[in-house]
Structure formats: C-alpha cells, structure tokens
C-alpha cells in the first residue's frame, strides 16, 4: 500500500514562506542550497541523497538515488537526476557570489564538492529555516495530533500493563515501541543536535534514570552498551520498589510528539521515602500545569522559565531538571527544535507552535521522577496537550 505524500499545496506554501523569509532577511539573496534530509523532507516531501536549489524564481530537487523513487513519493514539481554536483552547475549557469546553506548540517566535505563546480561563498540560513518550522501548518498539526493520540494510548494505557517483575529496561522499551509501530507510528525519533542519534527512546529503572549522558536531557539511561546510551539495559530487570521512567517519543508521517511518564512499581506505603517520592511527583504535575497555562501567544519563553524556577519547592531545587537548564523544547520534524523554554529565548510564542514540557526531579538514591507532554499553542487560552495527561496513575502494584 503506497504511503500518503505531503500535499502539493502544502509544499508550495512552505516554499513561498521560505522565499518571503529570505527576502526579509536579505533582499538581494539569489540562491539557497540545501542537502540535509530534514530540510529536504520539509520542502519537497522526500528524503533523497541529493540537494535542493532554491532561487527567487526556481526550485529544483536534484537526486542521486533514486530519482524514480522520489518521483513516485513526492509531489514536488521539479525533480531531476544528478550524477554529481556538476549537474547543478549545468542547470544554473549563473551562480551568485554568495549562496545560503545550513551551517549546522552541511559538512566541509559536501561544501568542498559543491564549491568544486559552484564557486560561491557560503552564508548560514539556519535561523530562517528553524523559524519557518517553529509555527506549524494545519497539515503539520494534524500529523502531530495523530501522533499524540497514539502516544497517549500506548504510554498511559498499554505501558502499565507491560510492567512485570523481571522485564529488562531494553525489553520494556522495545515492547512499547512495537506497540506504537503496530498502531501506525513511524518507528524512530530524530534529533538536531550533534550529540544525539536517531533512537527509539529510553526506559530506565531507579538508579539508572539518574545517569547523565551526552544528550542534553534530564532523563538518564545506562543504555544497551557504552556505544549506545539509549533504549535501556538488557541486564537491569524490574523489581518491586523500583521507580520506572519512560521517555519514549512517537511519530507519524515525520512529525514527533514527546511524552514521559513515571511509575512506582509496588506500593509507596512500603517505601521508607514514599512520602518524598509522592511529593516530587505532585510537584512535577503542578509545574507542568503551570507551564501549560503560561504558554499562550505573546508569552516569552525566557520569562516563563524564570517564573517557573521561582515556583519550584526549595526541597527539590537541587535536583530539578537533573542539571539541565531548560523546561521544555519545541518539537516537530525533529525532537529538539527552537524555541526552547530557557534563558535567552526572547521571541514571543505564537499560535501553531508545539513544545514538549518536561519538569523532572532527580531524587538521589531513588531515581528520576517527572512527567512530559507535547503542547500546541492555541490562539486563545492555555496550551493544549496533544499527548494526554500528566496526572496519570503513578503506582503500579506488582
């Protein structure tokens, strides 16, 4: 059964927005060359090995492999085969002195190959592209809403049933991801930052959820091995009295939602610090509600961050966010987009933005307690959750 392509009018609207944004940024701009798979998917509806060349009047997707596949799955109007970057030079005889690229993702090797045939000086346009992707269209929101409903079902209703004595972190994560795949999820989560990899997600029990990794995230994990700090350990198995942290994304048609949920496996009444664990959980639920109420059009992310930090119970400030300096992050085609609920982000929020909000508290010797949901900024009122509740059932009795 063929996959549903990104609609042609959606691609056309994105290209028009890009041109308008570029003209506002630089009225004299003449060419943009993009090769990152996320940028290509956003603007063409496909992820080939190739390059997209955009000028004020033309837009051509050059494809190494496979042009037949791309022509079948993409509704982009101008798709051409390319043996090498010489093909771009032959198609665009007049190359400007300056061409815009994405500095974050274009490698020096790729840039050198381009400049072999197109002698231009590169200039970064990363902020333009991230700004376009920050505000979602109705099509994009429909993909994220669908991902969110699936996410809520699996994490809130299916995951607790999968908890059983002796199941490993890795097995639990894989079973949850399989449940998502069976229900239509795309089966991967993609990141922007260099330290991150495309992964399934994270399942962590007790002490393992406190382990730091290279990824800028409060959620810790021992990983499958030193070379893969994700998914979970095949050796660490669930037992009575464990805290369980699930930080497992979901995606549909390229668009992600993010959700974390924490459980206590057993009865909190039997834990000597059960009151502290419950209080940490209640604090995180309270903070998520507070953040969502503040996320409205015109609100400034940096100001939300400062207000929420002032609300954190002094008993939990040392462990709040497990050393991370943010409260949430934009999400869409990748897990970590802009803006971020953190210092330095002063541009106001807009309707159509989507952010994952994730208050978490590290309890030494116990584990990471917290919650997370993905929210849509709406025109009026507080942000709306796409992924369900934060005040879900906490105790799962063995």
- Please report how the helices 126-134 and 8-25 are oriented relative to each other, as an axis angle in degrees rounded to 10: 130
Are 244 and 376 a contacting pair, CB within 8 Å?
A: no
Question: How many other β-carbons are positioned within 10 Å of the β-carbon of residue 90?
Answer: 10
Nearest-angstrom CA–CA distance, 339 and 355: 8
* pLDDT at residue 216, rounded to an integer: 80
- Quickly state the pLDDT bin for 134 (edges 50, 70, 90): very high
Q: Residues 188-244: pLDDT tens digits?
A: 899 887 666 778 899 999 999 999 877 788 998 999 999 988 999 999 999 999 999
For residue 148, give every residue at least 6 positions away whose Cβ sits within 8 Å of its Cβ, in sequence order, or none.
250, 257, 374, 385, 386, 387, 388
Q: Is 136 in contact with 144 (CB distance < 8 Å)?
A: yes
User: How far apart are alpha carbons 56 and 79 in whole angstroms?
Assistant: 17
Given a cut of 90, whether residue 135 has pLDDT beyond it is yes
Q: Distance between CA 254 and CA 236 in Å, rounded?
A: 32
Report d(CA 349, CA 134) in Å as an integer: 10
At 278-309, the pLDDT tens digits run 999 999 999 999 999 999 999 999 999 999 99
Residue with tokens 């943010």: 326
pLDDT for residue 200: 85
Do 202 and 246 touch, CB atoms closer than 8 A?
yes
Percentage of the chain with pLDDT > 70? 99
Q: Residue 310 CB: number of other CB atoms within 10 A?
A: 7
The answer, yes or no, to whether residue 187 has pLDDT greater than 90, is: yes
Q: What three-state secondary structure class fits 224?
A: coil
Do 244 and 369 meet the contact criterion of CB atoms below 8 Å apart?
Answer: no
Domains of the chain: 8-132 (3.40.350.10), 135-396 (3.90.230.10)
pLDDT digits (tens, 9 = 90+) for 107-119: 999 999 999 999 9
Q: Which residue, among 147, 235, 231, 244, has the nearest Cα to 197 in the 3D structure?
A: 231
Contact 368, 219 (CB under 8 A): yes
Task: Give the pLDDT confidence of 73-88 residue by residue, as tens digits.
Answer: 999 999 999 989 999 9
Residue 1 has pLDDT above 70, yes or no: no
What are the helix (H) ranges across the chain? 8-25, 37-44, 67-73, 86-91, 108-117, 126-134, 138-152, 159-162, 169-182, 274-294, 301-311
* pLDDT-above-90 percentage for the chain: 91
Q: Quick: pLDDT tens for 305-336.
A: 999 999 999 999 999 999 999 999 999 999 99
């Amino acid at each position: 059964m063929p996959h549903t392509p990104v609609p042609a009018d959606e691609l056309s609207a994105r290209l028009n927005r890009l041109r308008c944004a570029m003209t506002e940024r630089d009225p004299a701009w003449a060419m943009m060359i993009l090769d990152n798979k996320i940028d290509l998917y956003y603007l063409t509806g496909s992820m080939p090995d190739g390059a997209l060349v955009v000028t004020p009047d033309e837009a051509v997707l050059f494809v190494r492999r496979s042009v037949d596949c791309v022509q079948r799955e993409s509704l982009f109007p101008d798709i051409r085969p390319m043996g090498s970057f010489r093909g771009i030079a032959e198609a665009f005889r007049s190359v400007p002195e300056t061409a815009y690229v994405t500095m974050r993702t274009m490698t020096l090797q790729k840039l050198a190959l381009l400049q072999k045939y197109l002698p231009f000086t590169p200039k970064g346009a990363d902020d333009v592209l991230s700004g376009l992707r920050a505000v979602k269209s109705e099509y994009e929101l429909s993909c994220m809403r669908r991902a969110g409903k699936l996410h809520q079902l699996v994490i809130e209703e299916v995951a607790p049933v999968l908890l059983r004595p002796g199941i490993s972190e890795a097995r639990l994560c894989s079973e949850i991801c399989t449940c998502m795949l069976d229900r239509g999820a795309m089966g991967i989560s993609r990141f922007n930052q260099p330290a991150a990899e495309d992964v399934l997600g994270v399942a962590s029990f007790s002490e393992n959820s406190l382990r730091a990794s290279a990824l800028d995230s409060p959620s810790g994990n021992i990983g499958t091995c030193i070379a893969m700090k994700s998914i979970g350990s095949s050796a660490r198995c669930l037992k009575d009295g464990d805290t369980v942290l699930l930080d497992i994304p979901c995606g549909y048609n390229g668009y992600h939602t993010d959700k974390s949920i924490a459980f206590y496996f057993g009865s909190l009444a039997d834990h000597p610090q059960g009151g502290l664990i419950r209080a940490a959980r209640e604090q995180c639920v309270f903070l998520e509600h507070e953040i969502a109420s503040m996320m409205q059009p015109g609100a400034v992310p940096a100001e939300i961050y400062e207000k929420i930090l002032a609300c954190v119970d002094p008993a939990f400030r040392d462990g709040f966010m497990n050393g991370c300096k943010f409260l949430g992050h934009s999400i869409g085609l990748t897990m970590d987009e802009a803006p971020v609920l953190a210092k330095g982000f002063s541009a106001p929020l807009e309707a159509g933005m989507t952010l994952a909000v994730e208050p978490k508290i590290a309890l030494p010797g116990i584990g990471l307690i917290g919650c997370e949901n993905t929210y849509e900024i709406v025109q009026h009122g507080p942000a709306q959750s796409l992924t369900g509740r934060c005040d879900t059932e906490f105790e799962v009795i063995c």
